[in-house]
Each structure stands twice: as C-alpha cells, then as structure tokens.
Amino acid sequence: MSARPIPAPARPILYSFRRCPYAMRARMALLASGTVCEIREVVLRDKPAALIEASPKATVPVLVLPDGQVIDESLDIMRWALGRNDPDHWLEGDDADLIAANDGPFKHHLDRAKYPGRYDESGDHRALALALLAPLEARLMDSAYLCGDRPMLTDFALLPFVRQFAEIDRPWFDAQPLPALGRWLSGLLDTDRFAAAMVRLPAWKVGDPPTLFPSA
C-alpha cells in the first residue's frame, strides 16, 4: 500500500486501543518507522463517531492520513509505515504464511481459550492454540527470532497474540515445553520499544488537544 508523502505539519491520526493486539502491532511499526501521528485512544464500548465515519467496521487500529486515505488493517499499517522508513529492515522478515496462521487458526483458538463463555463451541481451545505454537518453537530453536538473527516484522506481528495467550494463565504457559518461545517472548517484551508502544492514555474526546505518538 502506498500513499503520498505526509506534508508537515499535518500528521496521520491513529485510532487505537492500548490492549488490542492488532493495535499493538501497528503502534510498534509506527515507532520503528519513526512515524509521528496523533493518537486517539478509543473506548470500545463507546466508539467515537469520527472512528466510525473513517472506517464503518469500527475496529482498531485505523490510520487516517492527511490526504484522507484510510488504512484500517493492522498489517497494512505496519507495511505502510515501514515502506516509508525501515531503519531496522523489518520488511526483510515479513513471512506472510506464518502471520496468516497466527491471524487465522491461532487467533480463533486464542479467543475461545481466553473467553470460554463467549462462544458456543466445544473443544479444548487452549490445547489447540498451544499446538499451533509448535512451529514457532521449532524455528526459535534454530534462530533467535522467527526470520533470522534479529527481530523483524513477523516477530512484532505475532508478539501481541503470543503475549495475550501466555497471559491467560502465565504459570501454566511457563510450564509448557516451549523454552525458546518463552525466551523470545520475554526478550521482546523487555524492550524500550514495547514499553513505548504500551503507553497509557486517556480516552479521546472531540475537542481534546492532539496527543502525539510517540510523545515528544
């Protein structure tokens, strides 16, 4: 996806929700690319009209560019931001198949393991999700990160979802035979970039002064 260069002082507007894994991956890519935007923290039970107007599906993240173009898929936001500026060469590690397995089957079982009363489905979804982490463990036994010896797009695209699964029951997760995945997860979470991506913000309201992300 491409867009015309962003003129100063106009900034993109990012609708986000701190705990949403899709929004997390978008924020980390924006940080990695050095893209400064106006961030608007959304309360999901009371979504602002401006978000719905920009993207009728009203899910975060949504990035509104100064020319009016709207990017409302997290991976598209990642690739757009890194396409503009990719100092750490994240795009060299963009494994579409691995990301699709995460966003499809793994996310399906993750949701049902995390919220068992929300879905009218049977099955041990925690075990099914765990089984889908085996290919990640196998990769990480051979290299420090999913696409090589340094973290790249695929690592940060999957990180929020593996983190969410681990946090359902962290002692149980830590007891699983996934030592390489555990090291990978802990290492990426213990970084300044992840901390910056997880900054706490008040809910945005119409009329609020702009909040820049990252903050000046």
Determine the Cα–Cα distance for residues 15 and 12; give it in Å rounded to an integer. Answer: 10
- pLDDT, one tens digit per residue, over 142-154 is 999 999 999 999 9
CB-based contact 37:173 (threshold 8 Å): no
How many of the other CB atoms lie within 10 Å of CB of 46?
8
Nearest CA to 17 out of 154, 163, 213, 177 is that of 213
Per-residue pLDDT of the chain (216 residues; tens, 9 = 90+): 444 443 434 799 999 999 999 999 999 999 999 999 999 999 999 999 999 999 999 999 999 999 999 999 999 999 999 999 999 999 999 999 999 999 999 999 999 999 988 887 788 999 999 999 999 999 999 999 999 999 999 999 999 999 999 999 999 999 999 999 999 999 999 999 999 999 999 999 999 999 999 986
Strand 13-16 versus strand 37-41 pairing type:
parallel
- pLDDT, one tens digit per residue, over 171-194 is 999 999 999 999 999 999 999 999
Angstrom distances, CA of residue 185 to CA of 121, 122, 172, 204, 211: 29, 29, 15, 31, 29
Domains of the chain with bracketed CATH: 13-87+195-213 (3.40.30.10), 90-191 (1.20.1050.10)
- pLDDT, one tens digit per residue, over 27-40 is 999 999 999 999 99
